[in-house]
Structure 1
Amino acid sequence: MSTVLSTLAEGGQTWAHRVRMIRQVIKIALSISLVVGLINFSYQNYMVDSNYHMSMWYYLKAFLGSLLSDEISVNCAFWSQASHEYFAGNTVNLPTSKVLRVTSPYYESWIQFEIYAFRKALTFSIYTLFISMTFFFVRGGASKKKKHISGQKVVSAWVLRNKLRLFGKASSIYIGNVPMLKDSETQHVLISGGTGTGKSTCIHQMLSQIRKKGQRAVILDATGEFVSKYYREGKDIILNPFDDRSSDWHPWAECKESYDYDSISESFIPSSNNESEGYWRSAAQSVFSALLQKTESAKSISGLVQILSYEPLAGMASYLEGTRAYAHIDPNSERTASSIRSVACSFAQCLEFIKDTEDPFSIREWVQNEDDDSFLFICSSVAQRDTLRPLVSTWISVAIKSLIQMKPDLHRRLWFIIDEMPSLQRIKGLETFVAEGRKYGGCGLFAIQSPAQIENIYGWKQAQVIIANCLTKVVFAEQDPKIAEDLSKMFGNREVKEYQEGISYGAHEMRDGVNVSGQVKTHPVVSPTDIQSLRKLTAYIKYPGNFPVSVLSFKSMRAKRKGILSTQLNCK
């Protein structure tokens, strides 16, 4: 029973207090409108010619004076203007009937004017009442609205687009329906989101614009989708040992100095984040590098594979005698040597699918030939992905190193479009590329599903370097709560001042009151829920600098079906 009474009291008191406050607000608004109306009415009368006021005065004086006398005293100056009769002196006594006859037209005009003035003043009062109530309503909403203090805001696409154009920062390349920040291509783009949310559509849009601009691109095509749409036979290059259109390649085409062999071996056999694997990977790299140098004169892939995978351990050790790798393949330590050899073979087994050739394609020469505007497609099908992973990763690593070896040029543009980036092993030189590639004209566009995927491959510190140096971030929908939370952190936090309303009440009216207090709180710029709620083909975008975050929309793009990646086996 006490709970019911308490609830009844609370409801009644708060409702009654609201009614009293509304009554006060209406009273204030009416008072303001009344004052404005009176001021307007007074001003209109002030602007009326004084003769009308005098006429009104003498008309009333004559009307009332006729009850007591037949004459009234009239100002001579006024009478001369009203009746065009002139008298000497200041005043003159005139019959009331004559005064009424002369001033009557002025009186009637004055009455009509007063009606008009009243209506106009009333209109002003009503408008003022409406404006006052609107002001109170807006002010009430603003008093409860969150106020931005620091951090980035989320704005509509048209707001960001106009802001970029206003400051002259709009690029000719668009992401979705918003232009990129001018000259930010070399600061790299990171695209993230779940499967089927629009990442490939975003890449399609970028590739179409890159092609129109005549810029070059190294494209990792994990499904053959980009090859089917953008490959130009006789112009572009395909690298895939299982594709009839692929150019022939071997590792010696990329090696001019002794350190190039070390670089190739480290690309095939990447370093591990696991300390227990460190020695085995390092030793395998040394063995593979030595074998490449030993077989340099023959440049035979089949010969290299024969020695690495099928030659007896003693024969392999004899072949490597005199090199630094010999210590790792010592026949006296057969168990250790076999383990090192198996590590090298596990990464280099993809070489078995490469044909021997006397006229190899050189990635280094293609990258450093700036007169060409072709695309280099490094591709595989889903079924081939695991087999070709070391080879594909090496090709991309060679392309990156070839760019870094060129002279710095801020006007150069060479794109690295890497779809499904976590499908690769660790790419040697990627950290250097994202940190220093800008001065060489390198433009990275990397597509992932989660930052954790990069961390698993490169380790936490290196993953942070890669993500931090991709200054343009495009995030599509992701339903996994943990991944959505990781993506949300890339946008940072913002501080807002939130207002809360408190009501105090009691038996006496003096105790009733409303208190509005503000409190500064920190919120993510884009919350995990916001990311989970994104529709297909929409994404959040974050540009470098002080530009706000926005929501992009993309148009669906269908790839051509003609010329899809061939799966015929072309190997010895």
Structure 2
Amino acid sequence: MKHNLLNFTRGSQLLGHFGFMFAAGLKGPLIVTGLVAVGTCYWEVRSALSDHQIYLVWMHIYTSLYAFMEFDPAKLVNLELLDGERVGLPFGIVREFPPMREAVEAFRTAVKQGLLVSAVLLIPAFVFFWWFAERFGGRSKERKHERGAMLVSLDELEEEIERHNKAFRAEELGRKFGWKWRLASSSALAEAGHYQPARLAGVSWPWRLEQSHAMLIGTTGTGKTVALTELVAEARERGQRAVIFDLTGAFIEAFYDPARDIILNPVDVRCPLWSVFNDCTTEAEFHAAAEALVPHDGGGSEQFWVLAARMLFVEMCLHLARTGATTNEALARRLMTADLSEVHKLMRGTMADPLTAPEAARMAESIRAVFNANAKVLKLLPSSGPRFSVRHWVKGDCQAGSILFLSARYVDMSISSQLLTLWLDTAMNTLMTLERTQDLRMWFLIDELGALHRLPALEKGLQTARNFGGAIVTGVHAFAKLKEVYGENMAMTLSSLARTKLILATADRETATWCSDFIGHRQVRDMEEGYSYGYNNARDAVSLTPRRQIEPLLLPDQFMNLPRLSAYIKFPDGFPAAPVSLIPRTRGRIAEGFIAREKPLIKPGQGPAATTLQAKPGSKPNDEHPASNDDGTGKPVDTKQLKLDLEGQRRVADEPQDRQEPVPLEKLNAGRAAGDLGAETRSDTHLDAGPTLPLAAVQTGEDAPAMGAEQHPSEPGTAGDDAAGKGGSTPQARAVTSGHQSLTPVEKDLREGAVADPPEKDFGEFEPDM
């Protein structure tokens, strides 16, 4: 009840207050209306009636009042005639006097005419006053933009951009051609190759701001691919080159031209033969490739294991480049699947030497495991077909308008993402080695930035690619995914470097808040209206108080509630934001998005992994030098790190052809018997004459040429070696034992299949100091 009484009191007071205020507002217009009406009527009466007629009108009014008061109708009243004479007439019939009736009728006509004139004047004036008062009252409470970002309609934005581009076009063409350029049409200038701004979501870019880069933000199914498709179609029409990361195959289906386009997909049959050695020739280039192939976790500092894996990869690539074994198969066999002792022998004397030392076997295997986990896709690359180099393609070794598609299905991203990252990183780095230009040279379109691993060249590309003709357009689903890949600070850096934003519907509040910050904030002034009332009406009042505040131009909820294919676009250089609508266009399918290879590249039981030597279960323990697969001291190990083919040495396909020719063992024994080696010799006639080794290797103890020999799973004599290691005997083992009471270190290495390293101190388990 109390609540109802308060509401009634408040309502009645406000109604009374508003009523009095409304009446006070009408008082002025009503007074003016009355004055104007009286004035026009007086003017019309004085213009239409003579003085005698006006006199008769006043007498008519007088007699009408006399009759209204019901006085004596027989009383005479003196009327002055037109000629000045006076005549007496009774009050009851004086109003019927013809001259008086004519005068009254003329007076009524004049008054009507005056009211009509006043209405013609006052009605528009009153309407204008009402409109002005209503507008003034509305604008007095209207929030006013004082400074900051602005939101306009799409038409206003397009008009502003058109004025901007027109001024810059006139300035640029005037410097090149003088006043004569005005004689050419826009189509003629376009055909001549003169710059024409590209369009994003149907809106023209401001003059030469495509190279300020763009970021498309929106969850799945909101229209990012629609905007990118229109951009690709325009680039294709103008003959511009592009590098496109196509995760769904939609761009390949719509634009792939086998005559001039390239598809890089390790599991697609259309992928050409590519190797890291095709794009890297210097140590710096190998380091750049390692950063893309083995990314770190996006934290503040790169982890030791990642840095070590990169160093191992770079040193192995440099070794293979020096020896001429520049193939993916050689890289996989020498680094990814080889025994650790073999890797260490190749890395001896390089910066990766301590990283692969057998004394720190656990660390070495961890480092290689990090590399293998990221570079396993190298084994899927094709081994035949036309050779392709991303670096040469970027430098112009392609047709005009060529598109490089970096493609992968979602199911293949877990294994292909590192390689796609490497290709895209190589393309960006190569672009920034070309000559500087202000013209648009190449597009980089990345539909799903978070699907790739960290792109080391992306930050540098966003900063400097504009100077080399590069325009980067990235698509982002959510800010959280970008932070996961690049870290929070780098994610903010990348988003700030892409200055053009096309923001579609977002699904989470963090991304929506992020987008709201991109559009910007503004300072506004609001007028707060207050009411006061009391028992006495003199205390009733309305107050307006100004208040300034800073607020976002668009709230996060507005982005979260956007319908699909609706967006806000924001260009740099102070252009306001505006809402846009995307119009999807149906395009014919001219190619298959993905064509799988008919046969697997590596069949089960084949390939480099099938020839990897495994430790024998009967191997004896060794506490001094743990093997590469050992977890610590005291585990069963095999001291023979490498087995030599005692039935015949065969050359590895990727070894250089200018190696030192091997010397038969008979000649080696003969030379040793003649004293060439300076060591005591004994008969080795029980050994087969087939196997050979380079003479220099045996003389010096160097073991690098021994890498040419491989141990085959079916190689005979292995079981005998195992038996000998356990204390058993075979005919061959007994013959060797009887013929050699003492052996030199070189002969022992020859017998065991590897060059034994001098004993070194066992450092135990190695833990890096992070």
TM-score (norm: length of structure 2): 0.65
Cα 1:153–1:36 shift into 2, 3 Å:
farther
RCO higher in 1 or 2 (8 Å CA, sep ≥ 6)?
Answer: 1
Unaligned runs of at least 5 residues, structure 2: 60-77, 85-98, 169-195, 603-770
Say which of 161, 174, 181 aligns to 2:158.
161
Alignment of 1:194 onto 2:206: no
Aligned to 1:97: none
Alignment of 1:150 onto 2:144: no
Summarize deviations over 1:23-46 as a string: whole Å, max 9, x none.
Answer: 12222333344556677789x87x
Aligned to 1:128: 125
Pairwise CA distance, 1:15: 1.2
Q: Is the CA contact 1:30–1:129 (under 8 Å) kept in the aligned structure 2?
A: no
Q: Is the CA contact 2:328–2:378 (under 8 Å) kept in the aligned structure 1?
A: yes
Aligned to 1:379: 407
Q: Distance in 1 between matches of 2:282 and 2:148?
A: 50
Instruction: Report the 3-state secondary structure (helix = DSSP H, G, I; strand = E; otherwise coil) of the residue aligned with 1:441.
Output: strand
Q: Is the CA contact 2:505–2:562 (under 8 Å) kept in the aligned structure 1?
A: yes
Cα 1:339–1:128 shift into 2, 3 Å:
same
Aligned to 1:78: none
Pairwise CA distance, 1:505: 0.5
Q: Distance in 2 between matches of 1:360 and 1:317?
A: 31
Alignment of 1:566 onto 2:563: no
Q: Which moved more, 1:56-65 or 1:347-356?
A: 56-65
Cα 1:38–1:484 shift into 2, 3 Å:
farther
Q: Distance in 2 between matches of 1:276 and 1:547?
A: 38
Pairwise CA distance, 1:245: 1.7
Aligned to 2:7: 7
Summarize deviations over 1:330-356 as a string: whole Å, max 9, x none.
Answer: 122111111111111111111001123
Alignment of 1:137 onto 2:134: yes
Q: Distance in 1 between matches of 2:259 and 2:337?
A: 38
Alignment of 1:488 onto 2:485: no
Q: Is the CA contact 1:36–1:128 (under 8 Å) kept in the aligned structure 2?
A: no
Q: Is the CA contact 1:493–1:524 (under 8 Å) kept in the aligned structure 2?
A: yes
Equivalent position amino acid for 1:129 in 2: F
Alignment of 1:282 onto 2:307: yes
Q: Is the CA contact 2:245–2:407 (under 8 Å) kept in the aligned structure 1?
A: yes
Aligned to 2:532: 504
Say which of 351, 354, 358 aligns to 2:378.
351
Higher alpha-carbon Rg: 2
Q: Distance in 2 between matches of 1:527 and 1:383?
A: 37
Equivalent position amino acid for 1:199 in 2: K
Q: Is the CA contact 2:164–2:207 (under 8 Å) kept in the aligned structure 1?
A: no
Pairwise CA distance, 1:328: 1.2
Q: Distance in 1 between matches of 2:382 and 2:41?
A: 100
Equivalent position amino acid for 1:527 in 2: L
Say which of 366, 378, 382 aligns to 1:339.
366
Say which of 228, 250, 265 aligns to 2:253.
228
Q: Is the CA contact 1:317–1:329 (under 8 Å) kept in the aligned structure 2?
A: yes
Instruction: Report the 3-state secondary structure (helix = DSSP H, G, I; strand = E; otherwise coil) of the residue aligned with 2:303.
Output: helix
Aligned to 1:419: 447
Summarize deviations over 1:305-325 as a string: whole Å, max 9, x none.
Answer: 111221100001111222222
Summarize deviations over 1:153-183 as a string: whole Å, max 9, x none.
Answer: 2222112112212333697422224222221
Q: Is the CA contact 2:57–2:107 (under 8 Å) kept in the aligned structure 1?
A: no
Alignment of 1:552 onto 2:549: no
Cα 1:429–1:520 shift into 2, 3 Å:
same
Instruction: Report the 3-state secondary structure (helix = DSSP H, G, I; strand = E; otherwise coil) of the residue aligned with 2:353.
Output: helix
Q: Distance in 2 between matches of 1:276 and 1:183?
A: 36
Alignment of 1:17 onto 2:45: no
Equivalent position amino acid for 2:471 in 1: C
Q: Which moved more, 1:332-341 or 1:452-461?
A: 452-461
Matches within 5 A, 1:147-546: 147-168=144-165, 172-274=197-299, 278-296=303-321, 297-357=324-384, 359-369=386-396, 372-546=400-574
Q: Is the CA contact 2:37–2:114 (under 8 Å) kept in the aligned structure 1?
A: no
Pairwise CA distance, 1:535: 0.8
Instruction: Report the 3-state secondary structure (helix = DSSP H, G, I; strand = E; otherwise coil) of the residue aligned with 2:28.
Output: helix
Q: Distance in 2 between matches of 1:479 and 1:383?
A: 24
Q: Distance in 2 between matches of 1:64 and 1:562?
A: 100
Aligned to 1:91: none
Cα 1:248–1:108 shift into 2, 3 Å:
farther
Pairwise CA distance, 1:464: 1.8
Q: Is the CA contact 1:33–1:128 (under 8 Å) kept in the aligned structure 2?
A: no
Q: Distance in 2 between matches of 1:369 and 1:250?
A: 19
Summarize deviations over 1:28-66 as a string: whole Å, max 9, x none.
Answer: 333344556677789x87xx9xxx959845775899999
Instruction: Report the 3-state secondary structure (helix = DSSP H, G, I; strand = E; otherwise coil) of the residue aligned with 1:200.
Output: helix
Q: Distance in 1 between matches of 2:512 and 2:440?
A: 35
Instruction: Report the 3-state secondary structure (helix = DSSP H, G, I; strand = E; otherwise coil) of the residue aligned with 2:352.
Output: helix
Instruction: Report the 3-state secondary structure (helix = DSSP H, G, I; strand = E; otherwise coil) of the residue aligned with 2:253.
Output: helix
Cα 1:172–1:37 shift into 2, 3 Å:
farther
Pairwise CA distance, 1:557: 2.9
Q: Is the CA contact 1:33–1:126 (under 8 Å) kept in the aligned structure 2?
A: no
Q: Is the CA contact 2:565–2:583 (under 8 Å) kept in the aligned structure 1?
A: yes
Summarize deviations over 1:489-543 as a string: whole Å, max 9, x none.
Answer: 2222111112221111111000111112121122111111110111110011111
Q: Which moved more, 1:167-176 or 1:308-317?
A: 167-176
Q: Which moved more, 1:555-564 or 1:129-138?
A: 555-564
Pairwise CA distance, 1:566: 2.5
TM-score (norm: length of structure 1): 0.86
Q: Is the CA contact 1:34–1:125 (under 8 Å) kept in the aligned structure 2?
A: no
Equivalent position amino acid for 1:146 in 2: R
Instruction: Report the 3-state secondary structure (helix = DSSP H, G, I; strand = E; otherwise coil) of the residue aligned with 2:594.
Output: coil
Q: Is the CA contact 1:37–1:124 (under 8 Å) kept in the aligned structure 2?
A: no
Equivalent position amino acid for 1:184 in 2: L
Percent identity between the two aligned chains = 26
Instruction: Report the 3-state secondary structure (helix = DSSP H, G, I; strand = E; otherwise coil) of the residue aligned with 1:544.
Output: coil
Q: Distance in 1 between matches of 2:471 and 2:116?
A: 70
Instruction: Report the 3-state secondary structure (helix = DSSP H, G, I; strand = E; otherwise coil) of the residue aligned with 2:16.
Output: helix
Cα 1:40–1:264 shift into 2, 3 Å:
farther
Cα 1:298–1:17 shift into 2, 3 Å:
same
Q: Distance in 2 between matches of 1:497 and 1:177?
A: 34
Q: Which moved more, 1:205-214 or 1:468-477?
A: 205-214
Instruction: Report the 3-state secondary structure (helix = DSSP H, G, I; strand = E; otherwise coil) of the residue aligned with 2:568.
Output: strand
Q: Distance in 2 between matches of 1:35 and 1:212?
A: 74
Q: Distance in 2 between matches of 1:33 and 1:553?
A: 52
Q: Distance in 1 between matches of 2:491 and 2:40?
A: 71
Q: Distance in 2 between matches of 1:481 and 1:541?
A: 19
Q: Is the CA contact 1:197–1:537 (under 8 Å) kept in the aligned structure 2?
A: yes
- Cα RMSD of the aligned pairs, angstroms, is 3.0
Equivalent position amino acid for 1:401 in 2: N
Cα 1:58–1:33 shift into 2, 3 Å:
closer
Summarize deviations over 1:428-485 as a string: whole Å, max 9, x none.
Answer: 2111111111111110110001223222222222222211111111111113223222
